Amino acid sequence: MARVHFVTAHFGGKIPWLPQLQSEKHHISFNYYHDGNFPSRHLSMHPRFKAKIPKMLEWKYVDSDWYVWMDSSIMPLEGIDLADLVVKEAGDKPLCFFRHSKVNTIREEAIRTIQMLKKGHKYFINRYSGEPIINQLIHYYGDIDFKDKILLAGNFFAYHRSASGLMQEWFNQIVQWSLKDQISLPYVLYKSGLNYSIFDGYTNIKNKYFTWEWRKRERSLLHRP
């Protein structure tokens, strides 16, 4: 039996729903951070940036074996033991991610993001306008020890407490560079040398773990894209 801690966050509006989690094989805990229980700091911190704190630093505040981050757009399927599925998928690796469904490298994702910004795509403008994504990519590619080989989804992942150093460095990269955490994750993961497992399927396509209800989530925000 493992201790599995789930965490999610939704800032900038009323939470869209409350995930239902249960397990007969593991001890689970759950934190949902929102405007009512987490300091707003509305003059100094954008809601999307504030969510990175529980997303990457929950290990600082909750003692557990495993941590599972899920965006507020994630709705776990009913009748499953999500904690057990996560632990089994991770196996003997300290991290477990989904592959990105659109492209395969951070270079491709950076180019895709810049193209969407130039086209005036509201979803991307409301998230990444003004972010130094090209400079970030140039910086990573300037590291001769880095190989751009995989792109991972950031809306659902699991990590063991032993990988907390990587999570701290990931947060540091968000502060230094951009909120586009899919770009910084492969870099810090490669530099850490840690092994990881891959969940079956994709987060935005039907899978055995959850549904990705981002439209429902977006409707609950006060300032929607």
pTM of full prediction above 0.85: yes
**Mind listing the pLDDT tens digit for each residue in 91-117?**
999 999 999 999 999 999 999 999 999
C-alpha–C-alpha distance, residues 85 and 66, integer Å: 12
3-100+151-219 is a CATH 3.20.20.70 domain = no
Residues of the chain short of pLDDT 70, as ranges, are: 222-225
What does the pLDDT read at residue 222? Answer: 58
Please state the domain extents for the chain.
3-100+151-219
Q: How many helices (H) and strands (E) does the chain have?
A: 9, 8
**Mind listing the pLDDT tens digit for each residue in 184-208?**
999 999 999 999 999 999 999 999 9
Angle between helices 133-141 and 106-118 (to 10 degrees): 160
What does the pLDDT read at residue 41? Answer: 86
What does the pLDDT read at residue 122? Answer: 87
